[in-house]
Amino acid sequence: MSIPSLQEFWPSKRHFTQDGNFINDKKVIANVFNNYFVNILEDASEITVMDYGTDFIERLSIRTTMHKVEKETFSFELVNSSQVDCLLSSINSGKSCGHDMLHLNLLKLSAPFIALPLSKIINSSIISCSYPVRWKMGQVTPLFKKEDELYKKNYRPVTVLAILNNIYERVLSDQLSKYFKDALSDFISAYYKNYSCESTPLHLTEDWRAALDNKEVVAVTSLDLSKALDCVPHDLLLAQLKAYGVA
């Protein structure tokens, strides 16, 4: 049996199911996905300051953080053109461009010329505590996960942001990572340089091996949270950052 090429296969699958009806209009399908992704957590319960007081001061995790963290505050520092030039020069040209359609190779080659004005935009944003609106815009693509491809629930959104936004995020994340280096646990694998999802299993495996060598019993309970990042309460996250001293 011959296997169809992607170009032959995809046109035959450009239809969708919504409320039992087949849809093949691209604009209607895009709106269906957009509404689904925007309201994907409408049934999720909310954690509000009404439950734990202003800034969640009565929540155990907040009180624990405030107790163990030294009274130190963090504020973002301004950047210079050399730092921005370095980030622009390190762009991975193989990645996709965002909705602004700025070609990554073009930005990389023009780094010496645009680093200064871009650093001024970033510094202006830091000083004014505001974020460029257009840099928040993303190009969203529904990515099929499993089961029936005709149903929206079997897709997850993949967003490609503007590359200049990614440069700005690198500036902010590098400063935050440096500040949190000594504040967070050494056992956290996420968001640490040279750590990955493999770090935790490797560490746990060694702990289990040592326990078994000592004739101890090992029991494991694993949890997989569906849409975990989407479920993070933003107010609680901001309160946690404030407890760590982020101004």
Question: What value does the mean pLDDT of the chain take?
Answer: 81
Q: Which two tokens stand for residue 27?
A: 């604009």
Q: What is the DSSP string of 145-161?
A: -SS-TTSGGGEEEEEEE
**Alpha-carbon separation of residue 198 from 19, 63, 150, 205, 211 (angstroms):** 41, 31, 34, 11, 20
pLDDT of 10 reads 44
- What is the band of 1 on the pLDDT scale with cuts at 50, 70, 90? very low
* pTM of the model as a whole: 0.73
Are the beta carbons of 51 and 143 closer than 8 angstroms?
no
pLDDT in tens, 42-60: 655 566 656 666 778 888 8
Residue 13 identity (one-letter amino acid):
K
Are the beta carbons of 48 and 41 closer than 8 angstroms?
no
pLDDT of 222 reads 83
For residue 243, count CB atoms less than 10 angstroms from its CB and return exposed for 0-12, middle for 13-18, buried for 19 or more. Answer: buried
Q: Which residue has the higher pLDDT, 190 or 47?
A: 190
Biggest alpha carbon–alpha carbon distance for the chain:
69
Nearest to 40 by CA among 149, 161, 148, 142: 142
What is the rounded distance in angstroms from the CA atom of residue 144 to the CA atom of residue 84?
Answer: 36
Give mean pLDDT, residues 76-88. Answer: 93
pLDDT of 49 reads 57
pLDDT in tens, 95-152: 888 888 888 888 889 999 999 999 999 999 999 989 998 888 888 888 888 887 777 8
pLDDT at residue 170 tops 80: yes
Q: Which two tokens stand for residue 102?
A: 């700025």
Q: Average the pLDDT over each of 13-17, 56-60, 231-235 and give the range with the smallest value.
A: 13-17
pLDDT of 77 reads 93
What is the rounded distance in angstroms from the CA atom of residue 145 to the CA atom of residue 161?
Answer: 21
Percent of the chain whose pLDDT exceeds 90 = 23
Q: Which residue has the higher pLDDT, 216 or 71?
A: 216
Are the beta carbons of 162 and 100 closer than 8 angstroms?
yes
Give mean pLDDT, residues 2-8. Answer: 47
pLDDT at residue 12 tops 70: no
Bridge partners (DSSP) of residue 246 are 74
Count of CB atoms situated within 10 Å of the CB of 159: 12
The sign of the dihedral angle between the CA atoms of 200, 206, 210, 216 is positive
Are the beta carbons of 100 and 134 closer than 8 angstroms?
yes
If you ran DSSP here, which 8-state letter would residue 129 be given?
T
Q: Which residue has the higher pLDDT, 60 or 24?
A: 60
pLDDT of 82 reads 94
Coil, strand or helix at 140:
strand
Give mean pLDDT, residues 82-101. Answer: 87
Give mean pLDDT, residues 1-15. Answer: 47
pLDDT of 88 reads 92
Q: Average the pLDDT over each of 38-47, 117-126, 161-170, 204-213 and give the range with the smallest value.
A: 38-47
**Alpha-carbon separation of residue 200 from 44, 177, 186 (angstroms):** 28, 19, 11
Count of CB atoms situated within 10 Å of the CB of 62: 20
